[in-house]
């Protein structure tokens, strides 16, 4: 199973061991909201698992996918509390099947504002 298939499987089952398999120890995460990068396996996994726990609400679906030269672009859509959210995961991976960079962009503005608020709440919650 390649790294993109493993990511899809992670999104479906939210199985943390799959995330452990595919996130490189020096991975970098870029959020839709903040400019600065989040660096290192631990923080990247925290952002991704927090985001997917929120987004995976039964309406989340990937609508398009392009994979070329170590970059996968996965477009997604979902609805959350009546708000439409459309976004892309831009995933850079290496020859070892590890994700080295994970960037998310989201539209429209209403969707970003909702995600921003929900992510802030979830990330600050005790784990």
> Does the footprint of a second copy cover residue 69 (CB under 8 A)?
yes
In order of 5, 7, 91, 96, 123, the CA distances from 68 in angstroms are 14, 16, 11, 16, 32
Sheet containing 99-107: give its strands across.
38-39, 23-30, 99-107, 83-93, 71-80, 61-68
Binding segment toward a second copy, per CB under 8 A, in 5-13, 17-25, 46-54, 63-71 = 63-71
- Among 25, 39, 64, 121, the residue binding a second copy under the rule CB under 8 A is 64
Q: Smallest distance from the beta carbon of 20 to a second copy, in angstroms? A: 27
Structure tokens given for 84: 């439409």
Tokens of 103: 């960037």
Q: Which is nearer to a second copy, 36 or 127 (CB)?
A: 36
Residues that bind a second copy (CB under 8 A): 30-35, 64, 66-69, 71, 73, 75, 84, 86-88, 90, 103-112, 116
């Amino acid at each position: 199973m390649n790294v993109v298939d493993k990511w899809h499987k992670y999104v479906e089952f939210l199985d943390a061991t799959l995330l452990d398999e595919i996130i490189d120890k020096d991975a970098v995460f870029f959020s839709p909201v903040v400019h600065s990068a989040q660096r290192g396996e631990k923080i990247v996994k925290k952002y991704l698992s927090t985001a997917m726990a929120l987004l995976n609400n039964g309406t989340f679906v990937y609508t398009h996918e392009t994979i070329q030269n170590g970059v996968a672009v996965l477009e997604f859509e979902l609805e959350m509390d009546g708000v439409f959210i459309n976004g892309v995961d831009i995933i850079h991976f290496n020859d070892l099947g590890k994700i080295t960079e994970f960037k998310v962009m989201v539209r429209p503005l209403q969707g970003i504002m909702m995600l921003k608020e929900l992510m802030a709440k979830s990330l600050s919650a005790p784990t």
